[in-house]
Chains A and B, each alone.
Chain A
Amino acid sequence: LAKTTQPISMDSYEGQEVNITCSHNNIATNDYITWYQQFPSQGPRFIIQGYKTKVTNEVASLFIPADRKSSTLSLPRVSLSDTAVYYCLVGVLTDSWGKLQFGAGTQVVVTP
């Protein structure tokens, strides 16, 4: 299983761009990279998923370099409501039995 490493916390101001980098040095060929967001007292919520290069949706962008040993979640123009814990998840995409492991996550705090 690919282990992930993220910063414990990041602080930002409203309107700024927040970039969270996740390291996954032993990512396997079939692994996808997924990011989840979790607000206090709620379950995690899917944000974005990618395999390589760049993926963008209405919430965030995900940048994955060619070697795929890391990935960066980019949150454009954050607001106070983006204060949450963000989890990087690397999963084995095979037909065999496997499991996805969540790391400790990154606590993002957005202040006015």
Chain B
Amino acid sequence: GAGVSQSPSNKVTEKGKDVELRCDPISGHTALYWYRQRLGQGLEFLIYFQGNSAPDKSGLPSDRFSAERTGESVSTLTIQRTQQEDSAVYLCASSLVQQETQYFGPGTRLLVL
């Protein structure tokens, strides 16, 4: 079916607010990944899911960041009490199984004022 989709495509928020970023992976893909990309920089791994489990959360920058996945499908990345340094593009990717080719979504551009 369709590729990986993310919403919203753009988000502007005020410092201190919470935001939720959504990722809809390709149907049937068991692995799902979140990355962050600051302007002009490479991809920074945040977290990945195998099914609904996130076995390694060490890439999350702080305890303000959390993520969940339900039904082995949709995933939500939540950033609490946003800071200006959280401004970035947040990319989601999915793969059929772990370590297979990752297919990326268009990203959510987050701007924290």
Size class of the contact patch on chain A: 20 to 34
Structural contact, B101 and A34, CB atoms closer than 8 A: yes
A45 surroundings in chain B (CB, below 8 A): 104
Structural contact, B56 and A104, CB atoms closer than 8 A: no
Q: Which of A41, A93, A103 contacts B99 (CB 8 A)?
A: A93
Closest-CB distance, B4 to chain A (whole angstroms) = 8
A43 surroundings in chain B (CB, below 8 A): 4, 91, 93, 104-107
B59 sits at the interface (CB 8 A): yes
A99 surroundings in chain B (CB, below 8 A): 33, 45, 48, 56, 59
B71 sits at the interface (CB 8 A): no
Closest-CB distance, B77 to chain A (whole angstroms) = 15
B73 sits at the interface (CB 8 A): no
Task: State whether A46 and B103 are in contact (beta carbons under 8 Å apart), knowing that A97-B56, A99-B59 are contacts in the complex.
Answer: yes
Closest-CB distance, B24 to chain A (whole angstroms) = 14
A98 sits at the interface (CB 8 A): yes
Structural contact, B43 and A102, CB atoms closer than 8 A: yes
A102 surroundings in chain B (CB, below 8 A): 35, 42-45
The B interface is mostly helix, strand or loop, or mixed, namely strand
B27 surroundings in chain A (CB, below 8 A): none
Q: Which of A36, A42, A85, A97 contacts B55 (CB 8 A)?
A: A97
A36-54 interface with B by 8 A CB criterion: 36, 41-46, 49
Structural contact, B50 and A97, CB atoms closer than 8 A: yes
A91 surroundings in chain B (CB, below 8 A): 99
Name the CB-closest residue of A to B59: A99
B56 surroundings in chain A (CB, below 8 A): 97, 99
C-alpha gap A42/B103 in the complex (Å): 12
C-alpha gap A32/B50 in the complex (Å): 19
C-alpha gap A99/B59 in the complex (Å): 10
Name the CB-closest residue of B to A32: B99
Closest-CB distance, B88 to chain A (whole angstroms) = 13
Interface residues of B (CB under 8 A from A): 4, 33, 35, 41-45, 48, 50, 55-56, 59, 91, 93, 98-99, 101-107
3 closest Cβ pairs, A-B complex:
A43-B104, A102-B43, A97-B55
